[in-house]
Amino acid sequence: MTALFNSDLKEMAERSVLCWLATADDSGQPNVSPKEVFAVADDEHIVVANIASPGSAKNIHINSKVCLSFIDVFAQKGFKVYGVASDVKQGQTEYFRWVEPLRMMAGDRFPIQSIFVVRGTAVEPIIAPSYRLYPRETTEASQVQAALRTYRVKQEVSNV
């Protein structure tokens, strides 16, 4: 059976500083917020640290369907993951199965209240329109250069 999360998705998740987690309440009202402490846990699960996300937690308890997206803002590529989430709390036996990749990222200063465990059901790539509209002139390197200008990031000159 092919894994839902391929190596491209795993690499892009590592390169993405944030993910955006979308949930909805029982009326269908969407809610979306950024989460920095997240990781691909295996071939079909993404874990997200609930540090300060009462709205997402509340929604997940009402409606487990979620969508999560992340992009490398410089390459301007990423993925959208549709899935079903559970809210795993400290004290539940499965907590220790999921917490490991998040603990290092959160450190002691950001206590983890619970873990949103997202089991992916479908994935879709996200790419900036330039890749599709102007394929001959758009490369990952050209997008990185454009994004560096957009975000006004100065690159250090390395002698290595």
CB nearer to ligand FMN: give 55 or 92: 55
CB nearer to ligand FMN: give 35 or 45: 35
CB nearer to ligand FMN: give 12 or 66: 66
In the complex, minimum distance from the CB of residue 70 to ligand FMN, in angstroms, rounded to a whole number: 12
Can you state the percent helix, strand and coil of the chain, rounding each to 5? 30, 35, 35
**Both tokens of residue 36?**
């920095």
Element (H, E) at 67: strand 65-72
Q: Which residues bind ligand FMN (CB under 6 A)?
A: 18, 31, 33-37, 49-56
Selection from 109, 53, 116 nearest residue 84 by Cα: 116
The contacts of residue 5 (CB under 8 Å, 6+ apart) are 40, 42, 43, 44, 120, 123
CB nearer to ligand FMN: give 91 or 107: 107
In the complex, minimum distance from the CB of residue 144 to ligand FMN, in angstroms, rounded to a whole number: 21
Selection from 12, 6, 4 nearest residue 76 by Cα: 12
In the complex, minimum distance from the CB of residue 77 to ligand FMN, in angstroms, rounded to a whole number: 20
Query: By Cβ distance, which residue is nearest to ligand FMN?
Result: 55
CB nearer to ligand FMN: give 53 or 76: 53
In the complex, minimum distance from the CB of residue 159 to ligand FMN, in angstroms, rounded to a whole number: 32
Selection from 39, 20, 36 nearest residue 99 by Cα: 39
In the complex, minimum distance from the CB of residue 134 to ligand FMN, in angstroms, rounded to a whole number: 31
